[in-house]
Amino acid sequence: MRSIGRKGLAAWTAAFAVTVMLTGCSGKSGGNDSNAGNAGAGSPSAADSGGSPSASASGSASASAGDSGASDASKLAPYKITWYVPGAAAQKDQALVNEEVSKYLKDKINASFDLEVIDWGSWDDKMNLKFASSEPFDLMYTANWNGFAAKISQGNIIDISDLIDKYAPDAKEVIDPRLLEGSMVNGKHYSLPVNKEIASQWGVLLRKDLVDKYQIDISAIKTPEDLEPIFDTIKQNEPGVTPFYLNKDISILNIYNTNTFAHFDGGAGTLMKGTTDYKLVNAYDTPEIKGGYNLMHKWYQKGYINKDAATLQDLSGGLKAGKAFAYPEQLKPGKDAEVSTATGQQWVQVELTPPIIGTGDTQGSMVAISRTSKDPARAMMFLNLLYTDKYLVNLIAFGIEGKHYVKVDDNTIDFPPGVTAQTSGYNLNQAWLFGNQFNDYLWKNEDPQKWEKFKDFNSKAQMDPLLGFVFDPTNVKTEVAAITSAGKEFSSGLGSGTLDPEVYLPKYIDKLKAAGIDKVIAEEQKQVDAWRQTQQQ
Amino acid sequence: MTFGRKVAKNRYLLLMMMPGAIYLLINNYFPMFGTVIAFKSVNYSVGILRSPWVGFDNFKFLFRTSDAWTITRNTLLYNALFIVVTPIIAVTFAILLNEVRNRLAARFYQSIMFLPYFLSAVVVGYLGYSLLSTEFGFINTNLLKPLGADAIAWYSEPKYWPFILPIVYIWKNIGYSTVIYLAAVIGIDNEYYEAALMDGASKWRQAISITLPQIRPIIIILGLMAVGHILNADFGLFYQVPLDAGALYPTTNVIDTYVYRALLTLGDIGMSSAAGLYQSAVGFVLVLTVNLVVRKFSKESALF
């Protein structure tokens, strides 16, 4: 059984590689030399090489509909829109919901609908296989941290700038301009961002019962250091509760580095505070970097941090069991309520950084059109509806009214009697995957002001100096691979305070240098300079 | 005999060989076309054949850093240890099991030994964690503490892992090898042992002079096959069992885990193919070499 998954995968990838070669050739022989992004020309020829008669019919039909600029449903040939998103698990009633959406779309754009949820664990593998085997589908979730740049450079998702203007002008109106701009790459749109909160803010969540018990004044907590006396109290008086609970991926460094640098990237270039010339530096060459690590190590030695932090994978088990007093978290308005529902403990949130809009936020949840889509135009018509049609987005996000939710009032929903989050046949709980969140219903336990607070949060946010810039690692792949590996070796140990920064930070720095971080930064600098040129135009 | 008559004569044997041959062809030979990926910068939109050639660029990341030495050393040493130790222990167990006269008991022991082989590496990782966890682990709380010793932070001390990993590997895999050797031991003609008994040979003498020489070809073949995989480390063992703890990399990082971690965010199939090709090429050369050596000493035991 050992590593059969990986070996099996390698075998499949290689087997599919043969298929790709064949399809790659046939695509060429179909005369499809144009960038698939020019979908007006791209979709019919893509359909030709697909070979099935119905597919080519729909391709040309929609292209002609596109030419007339109208989306008269009766003129469009029937088409099935397939959409892949990641999630906790496939939903039992997915087929019912898809059928309901199909019924609704029939009159609008004469399309049927197939949403498929792929579990997070196999999401990357499955999507890579779909691309490797050129499986036809239309839409997929993508994000800055989920290979967005790689998918563009490998040609797996297409340039949709023209399609947006042609088929989704209403959606374009709705989306926050900063979000839309921040999701662009090289001046082109490869995706539509989900309209939601656009900034990230870091802070800590504290257990409400203990905050009340020790009468902690959370408004006095301004910096990570302010937490120290509080942790001390918890350590003294609450045996069995870890004052600051961490796993291998999460640390106070997010807070510390956000406040210390104008733009922080441990694996590439960092911008110092107050930069005007956009000169990228290696953050690990600066004296500032030590502060965060030293603080963590001090806390670890004082016993504030759980001993297994450097190897712990899952945080939620400890949170649910009441073993934690505080932990760092990415915050947005109402995050504490969200976590309280998820963990069964009551939490309060303390913001420790300003909200900042970075490329990671504007590209945090997007939908892109696959190279293998047989009718990108129709997919875009669907997206236009998704961003503007309140009924549609809520149907996809929350399921069928009366079966998966009931309305408490106009904009508030609850589970139907006898149904819970666990027994519901459609409880994806990831409304941030779909279109325009400001059109979403709110659950009964959510703040009725949530969307107003989101808008307020968005408007207050500061911009990261590199907002909109995406680093393309193609020319320095070898170095990036080595840096990633070095990061894996040291970041958990140093970030959780388990390792002594006096000893291990110099080792980490040496390893980053040997891995070629200076070369990566030089390459990034080149790209940043080029990017700034296009920005100033 | 002409080729056609040979085929006609052996048609049933050939027919029986078909499923296996087809399986090998589809799963092991066709995908070999994919080796070209290792020399290309893959761009899906133009197809693999039209993607640009990049020579040996994809291989560079394997040898780029100081880690190259660590991962190669770890992979080779651990696998060499496994190749040597596995047959010694497995053959010992096979001979012992063969001596158990109560068949029911023998089956029971055999199953117990075989069981860990079917456990997923993730489960094994957590079994290990329940023993080694710094705060709650069995060894720290129930063994070291009562003895008055300090708790050991197993997951941040690389020096213990060259012992822990082989123990886990043997525990997990020994049942499988034992079954293979047991089958070979059972297959030995009983007349040898009867004759030996007449001559007054002890059990020990029987094992040394009859059993071992009889199963030597099996040991050599299994050894040769293992040598072919000497650069392919057991990913589950080296990734899951140390819980991917960064502090342990000096003694737990092997080629497979390095490739996985390095390419996790890049997802570049050119570079991962390069790593696979490198491992296979070295394995291929080693198998040929070792086979050549074996043939020198004992022609009939060699693979080819």
Q: Which of A122, A478, A512 is the mutation pick for testing B, counting most B CBs within 10 A?
A: A478
Show which of A453, A479, A495 is a domain's final residue.
A453
| Average of per-residue pLDDT across B23-31 | 91
| Three-state DSSP class for residue A350 | strand
Per-residue tens of pLDDT for chain A, all 537 residues: 344 444 444 444 444 444 444 433 333 333 333 333 333 333 333 333 333 333 333 333 344 344 444 456 667 889 999 999 998 888 899 999 999 999 999 989 999 999 999 988 788 878 888 887 889 999 999 998 888 888 888 889 999 999 999 999 999 999 988 888 888 888 889 999 999 888 889 999 999 999 999 999 999 999 999 999 999 999 999 998 999 999 988 888 989 999 999 999 888 999 998 888 899 999 998 999 999 999 999 999 999 999 889 888 888 888 888 899 999 999 988 888 888 877 888 999 999 999 999 888 888 899 999 999 999 999 999 999 999 999 999 999 999 999 999 999 888 998 898 888 778 889 888 888 999 999 999 988 788 888 888 888 888 898 889 888 888 888 898 899 889 889 989 999 999 999 999 999 999 999 999 999 999 999 999 999 998 888 776
CA-closest candidate to residue A245, choices A236, A259, A256, A235: A235
Give the CA-trace dihedral at A89, A92, A93, A97, to 10 degrees.
Answer: 20
| Interface contact flag, A477 B153, Cβ < 8 Å | no
- Cβ separation of B50 and A28 shorter than 8 Å? yes
Token readout for B129 is 């964690």
Question: Is B100 a member of any domain?
Answer: yes
Residue A354 in contact with residue A201, Cβ under 8 Å? yes
Round to whole Å and give the CA distance between A429 and A425: 12
- A414: distance to nearest CA of chain B, Å? 38
Report the number of secondary-structure helices (H) and strands (E) in chain B.
15, 0
> Would you call A205 helix, strand, or coil by DSSP?
strand
| Domain CATH number, residue B177 | 1.10.3720.10
Same-domain status, A368 and A406: no
Residue A53 lies in a domain: yes
B29 touching A, CB under 8 A? no
- Residue-wise DSSP of A157-178: B---HHHHHHH-HHHHHHS-HH
Give me B231's structure tokens.
């650069």
Is A94 within the bounds of a domain? yes
B129 interaction partners in chain A (CB closer than 8 Å): 311
B163 located within any domain: yes
Range of the domain at B169: 73-301
A422 with A389, same domain: the answer is no
Q: Does the distance separating the beta carbons of B237 and A2 come in below 8 Å?
A: yes
Distance from C-alpha of A183 to C-alpha of A171, rounded to nearest angstrom: 15
Instruction: Measure the CA angle with vertex A518, ends A513 and A524; round to 5°.
Output: 140
Subunit contact A307:B134, Cβ cutoff 8 A: yes
What dihedral angle (degrees, nearest 10) is formed by the CA atoms of A317, A319, A325, A329? 110
At a CB cut-off of 8 Å and minimum separation 6, what does A218 contact?
A206, A211, A348, A350
pLDDT in tens, B61-92: 888 777 888 999 999 999 999 999 999 999 99
DSSP symbol at A77:
P
Using an 8 Å Cβ cutoff, are A447 and A335 in contact?
Answer: no
What 3-state class would DSSP assign to A348? strand
Q: State the DSSP H helix or E strand holding residue A152, giving kind and residue range, or none if neither.
A: helix A148-153
Instruction: Tell me the CA end-to-end span of chain B in Å, nearest whole number.
Output: 24
Between these two residues, A53 and B21, which has the higher pLDDT value? B21
Optimal mutation site among A21, A34, A123, interface B, most CBs of chain B within 10 A: A21
Tell whether A144 and A64 lie within a shared domain: yes
Torsion of CA A168, A173, A175, A181, to 10 degrees: 90
Domain annotation covers residue A202: no
Same-domain status, A372 and A410: no
Concatenating the DSSP letter of every residue in A94-145 gives HHHHHHHHHHHHHHHHSEEEEEEEEEHHHHHHHHHHHHHTT----EEEE-GG
C-alpha B196/C-alpha B190 separation (Å) is 10
> What pLDDT is stored for residue A10 in this prediction?
46
Tokens coding A227? 């937490």
Q: What are the chain B neighbours of A124 within 8 Å (beta carbons)? A: 267
| C-beta atoms surrounding A409 within 10 Å | 10
Q: Which phi and psi (to 5°) does residue A474 adopt?
A: -50, -40
Optimal mutation site among A488, A494, A513, interface B, most CBs of chain B within 10 A: A488
Residue A503, sorted as left (phi over 0), alpha (psi -120 to 50) or beta, turns out to be: alpha
DSSP-derived secondary structure for A218-241: GGG--SGGGGHHHHHHHHHH-TT-
Question: How far does CA A28 lie from the centroid of its chain?
Answer: 33
pLDDT for res B44: 67
- Nearest Cα neighbor of A242 from B135, B112, B263, B79 is B135
What's the gap in Å between the CA of A24 and the closest CA on chain B?
4
Query: Could you please report the per-residue DSSP string of A406-440?
Result: EEEETTEEEPPTT--TTT-S-----GGGSSBGGG-
Identify all chain B residues contacting A311, using CB atoms and an 8 Å cutoff: 129, 155, 243-245
Q: Do A482 and B61 touch (CB under 8 A)?
A: yes
How far from the centroid of its chain's Cα atoms is residue A364's Cα?
3
Neighboring chain A residues of B61 at a CB cutoff of 8 Å: 477-478, 481-482
| Cβ–Cβ below 8 Å for B236 and A2 | yes
> Among A179, A307, A335, which residue's Cα sits nearest to residue A245?
A307
User: Across the strands, what pairs with A414?
Assistant: A406
Q: Are residues A56 and A115 in the same domain?
A: yes
For testing contact with chain A, the best of B26, B65, B174 (most A CBs within 10 A)? B65
In a domain, A448, yes or no: yes
Q: How is residue A305 annotated by DSSP?
A: B
Chain-centroid distance of CA A299 in Å reads 31
A415 inside domain = yes
Find, in chain B, the residue whose alpha carbon is nearest to that of A306.
Answer: B135
| Best to test chain A binding among B265, B271, B273 (most A CBs inside 10 Å) | B265
Q: Is A221 a member of any domain?
A: no
Which residue would you say has higher pLDDT here, B104 or A55? B104
Residue A152 lies in a domain: yes
Tokens 């399309």 label which residue? A111
Closest in A18, A153, A485 to B30, CB measured: A18
Looking at the domain assignment, is residue B158 inside a domain? yes
Residue A350 lies in a domain: no
Whether residue B276 is contained in a domain is answered as: yes
B31/A11 CB distance under 8 A: yes
The answer to whether the Cβ–Cβ distance between B264 and A484 falls below 8 Å is yes
What is the token pair recorded at A264? 């922080």
Q: Kindly report the CA angle at A501 between A499 and A505, in degrees rounded to 5? A: 105
Query: Do A374 and A445 fall within a single domain?
Result: no
What pairing do the DSSP bridges indicate for beta strands A324-331 and A201-207?
Answer: antiparallel
DSSP structure string for B101-166: --HHHHHHHHHHHHGGGGS-HHHHHHHHHHHH-TTT-HIIIIIITTTTPPP--GGG-GGGHHHHHH
Mean pLDDT, rounded, for B247-264: 88
Looking at the domain assignment, is residue B41 inside a domain? Answer: no
Q: Does B271 touch chain A (CB under 8 A)?
A: yes
Secondary structure class of A467 (helix, strand, coil): coil
What pTM does this model have?
0.75
- Residue A226 to residues A232, A244, B189: CA-CA distances in angstroms? 11, 13, 80
Residue B89 lies in a domain: yes
Q: Look at B124 and A200; give whichever has higher pLDDT.
A: B124
First-to-last CA distance in chain A?
58
Cβ proximity of B125 and B172 under 8 Å: no
Give, in order, the Cα–Cα distances in Å from B97 to each of B103, B185, B186, B204, B217. 9, 10, 10, 14, 20
Using alpha carbons only, how large is chain A's radius of gyration in Å? Answer: 25
In the DSSP assignment, the letter for residue A75 is G
| Domains contained in chain B, number | 1
pLDDT in tens, B291-300: 898 888 878 7
Is B44 contained in some domain?
A: no
- Spatial separation of the C-alpha atoms in residues A468 and A360, rounded to whole Å: 9
Structure tokens, A319? 């949170």
Dihedral sign for Cα atoms in the order B49, B52, B55, B61: negative
b (16+ CB within 10 A) / e for A502-521:
eebbeebbebbeebbbeebb
For A365: left if phi > 0, alpha if psi spans -120 to 50, otherwise beta; the answer is: beta
d(CA B238, CA B251): 10
How many separate domains does chain A show? 2
d(CA A405, CA A240): 39
Position B174 in a domain: yes
Residues B150-195 pLDDT 10s: 888 898 889 999 999 999 999 999 999 999 999 999 999 999 999 9
Coil vs helix vs strand at B81: helix
Enclosing domain of residue A14 = 4-194+363-394
Per-residue pLDDT at A378: 94
- Residue A536, number of CB atoms within 10 A of its CB: 6
- Same structural domain for residues A378 and A427? no
- From chain B residues 30-89, the ones with a CB under 8 A of any chain A CB are 30-34, 37, 41-50, 57, 60-61, 64-67
User: Any idea what the Cα angle at residue A243 is, between residues A242 and A244, rounded to 5°?
Assistant: 95
Looking at the structure, tell me whether residues A49 and A95 fall in a common domain: yes
What pLDDT is recorded for position A134?
A: 86
Distance from CA of B266 to the nearest CA of A (A): 7
**Distance in Å, alpha carbon of B119 to nearest chain A alpha carbon:** 8
Instruction: Return d(Cα B44, Cα A371) in angstroms, integer.
Output: 9
Question: What is the pLDDT at residue A68?
Answer: 40
